[in-house]
Amino acid sequence: MADTCTTPDGNSMWTLGLDAKWASIAIVSIVGFFPLVAVLLGPKLVFYAGGTLGYYLKKKTAGRKTQILELVEAEEKEYAAEGKGSEDSDEWEKIESHATGTAKDKQVKDREWDGIVGFFHPFCNAGGGGERVLWAAIRATQKRWPKAKCIVYTGDHDVDKSAILARVKNRFNIYLYPPTVNFLYLTTRSWVLASSWPQFTLLGQSLGSLVLAWDAFSLLPPDIFVDTMGYAFALGFSKILFHDVPTGAYVHYPTISTDMLKSLDPKSTTGTLGVNAGKGVGAAGIAKRIYWQLFAKLYSFAGASIDVVMTNSSWTQAHINSLWGSWRKEIGRPAATAVYPPVAVEELEKGIEVSLESEKKRQKVLLYIAQFRPEKNHKLIMAAFAEFMATKSPATEGAKLVLIGSVRDDGDSKRVYELRLLANELQIKESVEFHLDASWPEILEWLQKASVGVNGMWNEHFGIGVVEYQAAGLISVVHDSGGPKGDIVTEVDGEPTGFHATTSTEFANGFEQALALPDKLAMRCRARKSAKRFTEEEFVKGWLKQMEKLVVLRKAKVH
């Protein structure tokens, strides 16, 4: 069966034929175990075989590349005819001037680079903090290199280009220039779902990412390959196939970390935290420990191959450097750099007043903005809220818990249903509200009238929602770990900007302290001041500094 091309609503969607799909899977299954093959057969043989496959893929997709470039050119002419040129559109001009980054300095000549940047983000329409990073990165890239083409590899077959870009604008208030951003649709996304690997999940998903990467490369090998979801093995695979394609990673959360390894020991400080807490005992536990340690070695091997590594927080940076650092140093690659995610700090400051007058309009609302994923630990927050309400203190009078988050799939929908049942069991049903897939204007409204912002995830890698709390003047009560502890809810001028907690009782006490605080305005002002470290402008500066390195590497490879 030959490759097929369909154009839903006028937008390109490429899919592999059935036979080609299984042939791809067979090839990847063999090449995917490159660390073992490298040891047994030698690196040179592996890279020679990989390079041959890469050459085949480039030849195979040459026609498709031409078609995509023609599509971009046609769309640009259409936009120009309608008065919507990339620099002339009213909407495009709304993008902040800082998005041009260093394009105005001595490197202005590099604006002419017109290569293809492939963004590997199979769940690009999820609507979470990771997706905000993706779209902000693409916007910055478009402004820095107007002639570059941004390709997003996604598995979201149920939406076309116009629908995705509309949601980006609605959810994040980010406007992208449509002609130079396109989507290639993957057919093997199920391979990276945890549900597809009930056993050996970490290894299975990593193998699945290789299948997914082969799927992407079979559609179009890019000039620069950037992963914004955390698939390090896919980047390592790219290096084997395409020796002239620089790779970059934006790591939100390490696939495995030293904290995870320690959590298996019930006697460790993290032995009661995380979904695998205390499971490293007995024969099965020892086997799991060995398996995780071996996987960590493979993960480090893959991470060492990446040209440029960015992390979203100092917590993630420390863990990535701990795992990958020695390997990367040995082969001359730089350590990971922390580039804080973009948060709409300026917009929140403009739209939400923090003053004595606005204080009168605040309600006793505890707001939790987070996707309905297991690790976000909504159950802990609901249990803590029930414990807090049971005290019947003056602070509890009229208090309400509001949960806002996107729902990605049936699994998330089921979790929301279970949380509704839990609210009923805890007898707090009347004081808990759910708002699913809320738009940005709705979120702004809640940030304006809420008093407290909550985050219950252990080792939250960063916490964009927590920064939004602070920028909106909310008093944060967050888990005493990860980014919220180390980067965000920190002291300003020697005074706290929020509260930290671990157990449900500690969270309940945090709610009490936040709502009973006599001078809430002073803490709100400190929180807003703290948030200025995480503006979109700061993200753009950090992102472009690293992207420029990849462009330079690409130019060096082709000249």
CA atoms within 13 A on the CB side of 107: 15
User: Does some domain include residue 301?
Assistant: no
Report the pLDDT value the prediction gives residue 42, as an integer from 0 to 100: 64
Residue 271 lies in a domain: no
Does residue 85 surpass a pLDDT of 80? Answer: no
Does 227 map to a domain? yes
- The whole-angstrom separation of Cα 231 and Cα 460 is 18
- Specify whether 324 is located in the same domain as 414: no
Decide if pLDDT at 397 tops 60: yes
User: pTM value?
Assistant: 0.78
Phi and psi (nearest 5°) for 475?
-90, 120
- Residues 417-435: tens digit of each pLDDT: 999 999 999 999 999 999 9
| DSSP string covering 242-296 | -TT--EEEEESS-SS-HHHHHHTSTTSTTTTSSTTTT---HHHHHHHHHHHHHHH
As a whole-number percent, the residues of the chain with pLDDT over 90 amount to: 68
- Tell me the mean pLDDT in the region 173-201: 93
Task: Please check the confidence at residue 49 and state whether its pLDDT lies above 90.
Answer: no
CATH number of the domain bearing residue 144: 3.40.50
Instruction: Provide the CB-side half-sphere exposure for 372 (13 A, CA).
Output: 24
Instruction: Specify whether 208 is located in the same domain as 337.
Output: yes
Which has more confidence, 156 or 26?
Answer: 156
Please list the residues that pair with 367 across neighbouring strands.
402, 453
Is the domain of 89 the same as that of 128?
yes
* Amino acid occupying residue 160: D
Same domain, 41 and 166: yes
- Same domain assignment for residues 333 and 456: no
pLDDT tops 60 at residue 233: yes
The DSSP call for residue 193 is: -
Kindly tell me the sign of the dihedral angle through the C-alpha atoms of 143, 144, 146, 152. Answer: negative
Number of domains in the chain: 2
Same domain, 333 and 349: no
- Examine the domain organization and report whether 81 and 225 are in the same domain: yes
Asked whether residue 288 is domain-assigned, the answer is no
Whether residue 521 is contained in a domain is answered as: yes
Phi and psi for 336 in degrees, rounded to 5?
A: -65, 145
Q: What are phi and psi of 6, to 5 degrees?
A: -125, 160
Place of tokens 């979470």: 128
Predicted pLDDT at 1: 39
The answer to whether residue 89 scores a pLDDT higher than 60 is no
In a domain, residue 266? The reply is no
* pLDDT value at residue 341: 93
**Does a structural domain hold residue 261?**
no
Q: What share of the chain is helix, strand, coil (3-state, %, to 5)?
A: 55, 15, 30
Q: What is the pLDDT of residues 530-539, one digit of tens each?
A: 999 999 899 9
Residue with tokens 């290096």: 239
CA 248 to each of CA 19, 204, 234, 304: distance values in angstroms, whole numbers, following the listed order: 31, 23, 11, 11
The answer to whether position 97 is within a domain reads: yes
Residue with tokens 């020796």: 243
User: Do 316 and 380 fall within a single domain?
Assistant: no
State mean pLDDT over 452-477: 93
Same domain for 389 and 241: no
CATH code where residue 369 lies: 3.40.50.2000
Q: Considering only residues 334 and 14, tell me which one the structure prediction assigns the higher pLDDT.
A: 334
HSE of 140, CA atoms in CB hemisphere, 13 A: 25
Q: Are residues 317 and 419 in the same domain?
A: no
Taken as a whole, the chain contains a residue count of 559
The stretch 380-403 carries a mean pLDDT of 97
Q: Which of 3-12, 73-82, 380-389, 396-405 has the lowest mean pLDDT?
A: 3-12
The strand order across the sheet containing 400-405 reads 432-436, 400-405, 365-369, 452-455, 475-479, 498-501
Residues 451 and 504 in one domain: yes
Instruction: Render pLDDT for 324-382 as a digit per residue (tens, 0 to 9).
Output: 999 899 999 999 999 999 988 988 999 999 999 999 999 999 999 998 988 899 999 99
**Is pLDDT of 112 > 50?**
yes
The domain containing residue 326 runs over which residues?
A: 4-255+308-342+538-558
* Residue 127 and residue 23 share a domain: yes
Indicate the range of 191-195, 460-464, 503-507 predicted with least confidence: 460-464
